[in-house]
Structures are given as C-alpha cells and as structure tokens.
Amino acid sequence: MEGIEHRMIKVNGINIHIAEKGEGPVILFLHGFPELWYSWRHQILALSSMGYRAIAPDLRGYGDSDAPDSVESYTCFHIIGDLVELIDVLDPDVGKVFVVGHDWGAYMAWLLCLFRPDKVKALVNLSVPFRRFDREIKPVDVRKANYGDDYYISRFQEYGEIEGEFAEVGVERVVKEYLCDFPVLLPKGKLFKRPLDEPITLPSWLTEEEANYYVTVFQKTGFTCPINYYRNLGRNWELLGPWVGSKIKTPAKFIVGDKDLVYGMAGMKEYIHNGGFKEDVPSLEQVVVMKGVSHFINMEKPEEISSHIYDFFCQFH
C-alpha cells in the first residue's frame, strides 16, 4: 500500500510484524479484535504525510506476528512486555513514542501508560476508556450477570468452543459479521442475527477488497490466539491487584462513537461524562463523542480521526 514497508522485529522472545511509513516522531498504532495492522492503513498514510513515522504492529497472536500456543501467553503483562521492547527498538535514542489505541489496543495502551509512563509522550485512545480496577467485581462475572451467557465475552471463555462454531460458519462470514455489525450476543446454534444464506452488505467505509484482506489473514491464522486475550480477562484482574487506585498521568485524548457497543454498556456514559473517567485519568484533556459512528471508528471516519490525532500530538513536540 502506497509505500508502506513491512518487517519483523524480535521482541520479548517472539517476532512481531510491523507496518511503517514516514519519518519523524514515532506514532505507535495498536489494533483491536478482530483486526490487524491494516485497520490503521488510513492513519498510516495520513500521519506519515504530516511529518510522523507511523508504525502499526500485528499484536502477538495476530497476522504475521508469532502466536504462542498457551492461553497464558496473552496476559496484559505479555502484551505490554512486547510493546516496551518494541518502543526501545523503534526509538532507541529516547525510548518514548506517541501511542494511539483502539479496542484491545486501547486497553493495552492505557496499561502501557500505567506501567511505563516513561515510554509514552501522549495518548489518543479510541472506543475503550480506562476503567478503575474494582477488586470486588470480576470482569467476566459482571458481564455474564449483566448480559447473560450468550454475551460474546462469556462465549469466548471456553477454549475451543467458539472456534468450532466459527469454523462451521466459515471465516469469511465471521470476519464480515464483526466488521459490519460487531455482534455482542452469540446464541449457540444461531451465532448471528442474519440467516447464513443472506448476503452481507458491507458498510460504505469498507470495500470488498479491504474486507477480503482480513478474511485471507484469518483463514491462515484462525481466531484462537486473538480470543485468548478475552480468556485472560480474569487472570489480568488478578495480576492488576497492585495497581488498584492508580491513575493514568499521561496526557490523553479519548474519542468514541455514540453508536459504539462500548459506549452503550451499562454505566459507561455516566462514567465518561460525570467525572469518574477524569478522576482516574487526571491528565485527560479531551473527550470527543462522534455522532452516528459505531465501533470501528478509525475506519469509519478516517480523515476526522487522523486530524484529531495530529491536532493533539502537535502540542507535545
């Protein structure tokens, strides 16, 4: 794609694939589920033309990056370990970069700022806000209580189960269902709302060629390792005990679509807008809610998101 270069970097005992373009201060883009470096294609082209070195890895378990077999290899500490070493390789002189995250990438970016604030100049996160650690509420249990056994996070917990059901449906159908209309309920025997013989009409922001890029990659890799991130929610909750009460002090900007499934979760709007978010992230400088926009905000509104990123990071040169 238009001068984007690809290479493998050895970090934290595994090989991580990165896509990069441009020269200047590094912006590290972190993707979510079920995505790849490719989800940042618009931002890579835009920000590299604005004087930045834009870099997007496939996170461990995704795409061309290594995918360790064990579920336990996908805790937050493993991912942050990858990112810290990656930053040191990408910016050996300073070891500090700008970061942009979406979905799971946003979750990991918040934790990167919490664990290693010395590595992040400033942060723009999309879709997923930082949430304080509640030692009384286990993350999987509360979601099951709120949304039931068919909720996707509940269904992802049993190793191999959802992968078998996805295999029956086919990778192409699964990928396109997620990119078009991220399904939060996955009933057994009828995973998706649309009948399987009903064609999927892609949204205006996603071409058939772009969708097929994801399909081709996930046909090669499968979904197990990406789903292992969800299988570590409980383990992460245990590991994060020492950081209860800690706050994010990295300068941050948060952007979410008002149609995003995360924004619609119980209590989320109140947390974001009524002071809780700002209390946990004192350096939060701006919250932007984009009207009529859903979960894959960086692909749905690429020019607007690139402008938001540029405008914010310009303050920290």
pLDDT digits (tens, 9 = 90+) for 1-18: 789 999 999 999 999 999
31 is catalytic: no
Of 81-85, 110-114, 129-133, 228-232, least confident by mean pLDDT is: 129-133
Q: Considering the chain, what is the average pLDDT of its residues?
A: 96
pLDDT band at 137 (very low <50, low <70, confident <90, very high): confident
Residue given tokens 């990112």 in the structure block: 83
* SS3 state at 123: strand
Q: Which entry of 52, 107, 152, 230 is annotated as an active-site residue?
A: 230
- Name the token pair of 175: 């990928």
Q: Which alpha helices (DSSP H) does 139-259 contain, by range?
A: 139-147, 152-155, 161-169, 171-181, 208-221, 224-231, 233-239
Q: In the predicted model, is pLDDT for residue 151 greater than 90? A: yes
Q: In the predicted model, is pLDDT for residue 162 greater than 80? A: yes
pTM of the model: 0.97
Q: Which helix (H) or strand (E) holds 312?
A: helix 302-313
Compute the average pLDDT of residues 72-88.
98
78 is catalytic: no
Relative orientation angle of helices 161-169 and 171-181, to the nearest 10 degrees: 100
pLDDT the model gives residue 108 = 98
Share of the chain above pLDDT 90, in %: 94
Closest Cα to residue 97, out of 83, 111, 78, 82?
A: 83
Instruction: Dump strand ranges (E) for the chain.
Output: 5-11, 14-21, 26-30, 53-57, 97-102, 120-126, 252-257, 284-290
Q: Which entry of 66, 82, 91, 103 is annotated as an active-site residue?
A: 103
pLDDT the model gives residue 135 = 81
Which pairing describes strands 284-290 and 120-126: parallel, antiparallel, or unpaired?
A: unpaired
pLDDT the model gives residue 136 = 83
Compute the average pLDDT of residues 264-288.
97
- Residue 102 contacts residue 92 (beta carbons within 8 Å): no
* Ramachandran region, residue 64 (left: φ > 0; alpha: ψ -120 to 50; beta: rest): alpha
pLDDT band at 317 (very low <50, low <70, confident <90, very high): confident
pLDDT band at 271 (very low <50, low <70, confident <90, very high): very high
Cα–Cα distances (Å) from 213 to 189, 199, 206, 285, in that order, read 27, 18, 11, 36
Instruction: Please write the tens of the pLDDT for every residue from 294-315.
Output: 999 999 999 999 999 999 999 9
Instruction: Please write the tens of the pLDDT for every residue from 93-112.
Output: 999 999 999 999 999 999 99
263 is catalytic: no
